[in-house]
Structure 1
Amino acid sequence: MYSEPEHDPDVDDDSGERSGRRRAQLPGSGLDSLTGPSPAIRYADAMRHQPGRVFWISILGVGAFTLWGVLSPDGMAAAMTTAMDAVAAKVGWVYLVLTLGCIGLLVYLGFGRFGRVRLGADDDRPEYSTWAWLTMILSAVMGIGLISYGVAEPITHFTTPPHGLADPGTNEAAVRALQFSYFDWGPHAWAVFGVFGLAIAYSTHRRGNTGLISPMLRPLFGKAMDGWLGNVIDILAVIATLFGTTTSLGLGASQISEGLNRVFGIPNELFVQIIIILGITVVFTLSALSGVNRGIKFLSQTTAVLSIFLGLFVLIVGPTGFIGNLFFRSTGEYLNDFFKVSLLTPLVSGDVEWYQYWTYFMMAWWLSWGAFVGVFLAKISKGRTVREFVLGVMGIPSLVFFVWFTIFGGTAIKIDMDGDGGIGAAAAEDVNSAFFETLEHLPWVGLTSVIAILLVVLYFVSGADANTFVLSMLTSRGTLEPSRWVLAVWGALTGTSAMVLFFAGGLAALQQAAMLSALPFAVIVALLGYCIVKTLHEDQTMDAYRTVRRRDLETGGTGTRGEESVDIDDTAVKPAPAAD
């Protein structure tokens, strides 16, 4: 099996060759390298028509799972429910601790000395404008959540406040509803994506590795990542990514079916939802095969414009003053109780079911999407600094989601407070109806409903084809040009798995699959975070960003007095402290 050659850093002290020496230390610039692909990527490209055991084992596992669902849907649903109950009751807290740790890690990397590190060569600059970059992050990563849960989660928490922290239907319940919505869709979610994205971007753009997960763990496990252990990790990434995608397919199909029912009177039933999943699968598979995914920039900006229009429309015609006050009160409550809510776990068995449906499911869903989102973020973030990356991936999207959930969720809450509670009742019966039920209380319901349906479809087209590409890449040794037949296989398997799970247990089965597949991946994320820090500290190209201490000047940065000093860029070094 191919093993990436180790690089022997140059220690020449000629300051005139410093820049070129540091550039030479990088074996390649990773994705779309301007200096040519690294040896690891060249090997993966050469073998792209011969996918290895990661592909075949993943296909075998997914095929067996699908067959189980076809032959015994009730048995599969019962087994998954039992497994999920055990996981939530015994180790569900892992999801909370891990996501909080991801926030801490990104804050440390983004606002410490490594914040100036560029994801690429030192002279690389971003390929996309900041506007285009942010719209791609928002629409292709979690855009579907804006429609699926933008009203459903706040109104559900309003009618049934989490953990009994408020009386249902009160102003305090409204604040708590948005507070917990922020928790599920804010920094905790985006930090998971950020850790994956930063690890993959650094591994590919700075180290010349392929986009696989296993090479990123070499600082901890060494060459074991080139063998079976590395294969197991990549297979886990594939399984988690697949079930994260199927959950999104199920949510999208339910939303589209609900919208079509309200606008055109098409029955909202299982058969229609299965047909929608099938149609969406054909579209995003053909898109991936034909290269339409290159138009993701255009699609993302289109969805951004439509989303801004819809959000401003509801803000203006809705209860504007209530929305503004609710936003600031909920944000204050969120910040005040940040650590309390981040580590709030169930102490009685009755609470576990709520966590399975909301907090644990959300955190596991983000983990299952991590590999796909990480590759996507790495692809579009080449040339940006770590600090820009952290702000653009964790900061700005969190704020956008806070505003969106407050506008739509706050509007629904105000309508129910002043009315008969119809939106909350509709959400309790079917969460997919909440968004469209809210639009029916506002002007231009026909136009806004069509825009909402269009947004759901565009979010799929801009994200699902990229997800198919990532699954193909992960099972083709990390090549950036997977074979067309591999793309077709994963497109078909993604749609088939979604339909089988949907048939076996509906949306609940999709959620359980995502949660179960994400559990072993949680360990990988923790190891990945450790490896990022370890690699940055050991990478000699990072010397320019290190604060020099008096001991370093005395020992030449080697830790031993009298040895030859390592050349350090004077312009990037802070003054050493004065002698005692």
Structure 2
Amino acid sequence: MKRLTPVFIISITISLAFILWGVIAPNNLDNITATIQGFITDQFGWFYLLAATGFLAFALILMFSPIGRIKLGKDDDEPEYNNLTWFAFLFTAGMGIGLVFWGVAEPINHFYAPPTAEVIDSPERAAAIALRYSFFHWGLHPWAIYSVVALALAYFKFRKGAPGVLSAAFEPLLGDKINGGIGTTINVIVVFATIFGVATSLGFGTAQISGGISNLFPMENSPFLQIMVIVIISVLYMGSSLTGLDRGIRILSKTNIYLAIVLMLFLLFSGPSNFIMNSFTQTLGGYLQNLVRMSFQLDTFNPESNWVQGWTIFYWAWWIAWAPFVGTFIARVSKGRTIREFIIGVIAVPTVFSALWFSVFGGTAIHLELFGNSNLMTLMEEYGTEIALFAVLQEYNFGIIMSGIAILLISSFFITSADSATFVLGMQTTNGNMNPPNSVKLMWGIVQSLTAGVLLWSGGLDALQTASIIAAFPFTIIMIFMIISLLKALRAEKIPPRKIKEYE
């Protein structure tokens, strides 16, 4: 890179200052960020709920409207990647480590501490609600959030020829101001949200890898082990980042899909298969039936409860913090698809896969609680949330081998997510360069790893959740204005005619 951009200089300065703060005064960092996070969730929880549901409504309206026929590119452009590779990119970037970490842990948490007090004495009712809210938190809403950002970036980049930075999506609204201080501010916020959103996921992955290692070998799941995991995985993903999008990330994304399917099929057929598929069918119906109510659910009339703040609002903030990273990456690999095809692919397919994943892993765990002698909640309280997956796998034959595969899958997700994030951060800080220099990607790789390590060191998983909620708040506002700008541009489009198939 011949000249450092203002976005790169400002972003790297803020990131290094944060890391230095965490090294010098970790307790102070934890206390201040926790105070900020508490204020945001208490005062603006309603804002996150309305925003996330609004993003979903916006995506669905575009999908069903004539605008859906517009291509993300020129009218004669064709998709760069086939559907399998595209879905692998979507799944790996959009969920990755989090899905593996929470696949067992979240349903079990909801089973023992459901959002509504009246089901505490009804295990069967608690089980149904536990899976339903897991579907809810990993279903339509997060993927709609991703789709909004990705759609705006892909539209302006491939159809309008704009730079691949998020500020370019504001040109219809701000004009030439996007090239000045306002545009720089938008892009710096994007980088900030990406670093902390990804650091949260990397922290979860680190905790689970070290938890799996300590479960398989006589080693303590200590902060030292977690830091060693970060160091080793960081070397691997920074090496992968040097190979580019079409080699390292592409190969790893497909590997992730294959490993995830192997793990899921093992538990589906080794575990209570009929119970799992019944749970999937019933919970999918309950999720769709209660979607609107859950989308606006708050603890308004039960102020002593913080269930919604601790789960739904955290998730919506986490997805929004991830949206710049995932949105940029999805946009980069979605050239040539129509808006309708894009939205269906980004929202529907991953939602169904996530629902099946929670049915298999969460359903198996709940079956063990209801009909076995397991008590996963006690294990998680004693050894950490990260141990839940391995405890379930080892209830079945070949559990040790499957635990090893799970560690390999988490590591692969870790490498791919971090690799993809260095690519996105490189794009956003080099004025949208579609192939950012390796030196820039390596710099951001180091910053990501250091940020995840500092957050784990200062406050563990709570600090990671806190950082993502804080980072998401300003970006939520940016997303709202981005939608307004995108609508303004789409209104000026000439809608392509509907294709009518001729039958002989």
- TM-score where L is the length of structure 2: 0.95
Deviation (angstroms), 1:165: 4.8
Structure 1 pair 86/385, CA: closer, same or farther in 2 (3 Å)?
same
d(CA) in 2 for partners of 1:324 and 1:469? 38
Match 1:60 to one of 6, 13, 16: 13
Pair 1:148 & 2:134 matched: no
**Ranges in structure 1 where 5+ consecutive residues have no aligned partner:** 1-47, 546-570, 574-580
Match 2:431 to one of 474, 477, 489: 477
Amino acid at match of 1:138: F
Aligned to 1:377: 330
Match 2:238 to one of 271, 275, 285: 285
Pair 1:101 & 2:58 matched: no
For the pair shown, the structure with the greater C-alpha radius of gyration is 1
Match 1:544 to one of 463, 487, 496: 496
Q: For 1:365-417, what per-residue CA distance to the aligned partner results, in whole angstroms no more than 9, with x for missing partners?
A: 11111111112111211111111111110001000000110111000001011
Amino acid at match of 1:220: L
Amino acid at match of 1:210: P
Aligned to 1:438: 392
d(CA) in 1 for partners of 2:255 and 2:27? 42
d(CA) in 1 for partners of 2:245 and 2:173? 38
d(CA) in 1 for partners of 2:121 and 2:158? 50
Structure 1 pair 274/169, CA: closer, same or farther in 2 (3 Å)?
farther
- Secondary structure of the residue aligned to 1:544 is coil
The answer on whether the counterparts of 2:69 and 2:495 sit within 8 Å (CA) in structure 1 is no
The answer on whether the counterparts of 1:317 and 1:442 sit within 8 Å (CA) in structure 2 is yes
Identical aligned pairs, as a percentage? Answer: 39
1:108-123 to 2 correspondences below 5 Å = 108-123=61-76
Aligned to 1:507: 461
Match 1:358 to one of 311, 314, 318: 311
Higher relative contact order (CA 8 A, sep 6+): 2
Deviation (angstroms), 1:251: 0.5
Match 1:533 to one of 484, 487, 490: 487
Match 1:213 to one of 152, 156, 166: 166
The answer on whether the counterparts of 2:215 and 2:387 sit within 8 Å (CA) in structure 1 is no
- Secondary structure of the residue aligned to 1:151 is helix
The answer on whether the counterparts of 1:169 and 1:417 sit within 8 Å (CA) in structure 2 is no
Match 2:376 to one of 404, 408, 423: 423
Aligned to 1:44: none
Q: For 1:266-304, what per-residue CA distance to the aligned partner results, in whole angstroms no more than 9, with x for missing partners?
A: 321111001111222222122223437633222222221
Aligned to 1:261: 214
d(CA) in 1 for partners of 2:436 and 2:263? 38
Deviation (angstroms), 1:146: 2.3
Alignment root-mean-square deviation, CA = 1.6
- Secondary structure of the residue aligned to 2:395 is coil
d(CA) in 2 for partners of 1:331 and 1:166? 20
Aligned to 1:300: 253
Structure 1 pair 321/484, CA: closer, same or farther in 2 (3 Å)?
closer
Aligned to 1:568: none
Pair 1:325 & 2:309 matched: no
Amino acid at match of 1:112: S
Aligned to 1:195: 148
Amino acid at match of 1:375: T
The answer on whether the counterparts of 1:158 and 1:168 sit within 8 Å (CA) in structure 2 is no
Amino acid at match of 2:189: L
Deviates more, 1:180-189 or 1:157-166: 157-166
The answer on whether the counterparts of 2:59 and 2:147 sit within 8 Å (CA) in structure 1 is yes
d(CA) in 2 for partners of 1:237 and 1:299? 25
Deviation (angstroms), 1:169: 6.0
Aligned to 1:311: 264
Amino acid at match of 1:198: L
- TM-score where L is the length of structure 1: 0.83
d(CA) in 2 for partners of 1:165 and 1:524? 39
Pair 1:391 & 2:344 matched: yes
Match 1:231 to one of 162, 167, 184: 184
Deviation (angstroms), 1:572: 6.9
Pair 1:521 & 2:453 matched: no
The answer on whether the counterparts of 1:99 and 1:188 sit within 8 Å (CA) in structure 2 is yes
Q: For 1:311-350, what per-residue CA distance to the aligned partner results, in whole angstroms no more than 9, with x for missing partners?
A: 1221112112211222222122211211110010122443
**Ranges in structure 2 where 5+ consecutive residues have no aligned partner:** none
Amino acid at match of 1:401: S
Structure 1 pair 572/301, CA: closer, same or farther in 2 (3 Å)?
closer
- Secondary structure of the residue aligned to 2:430 is coil
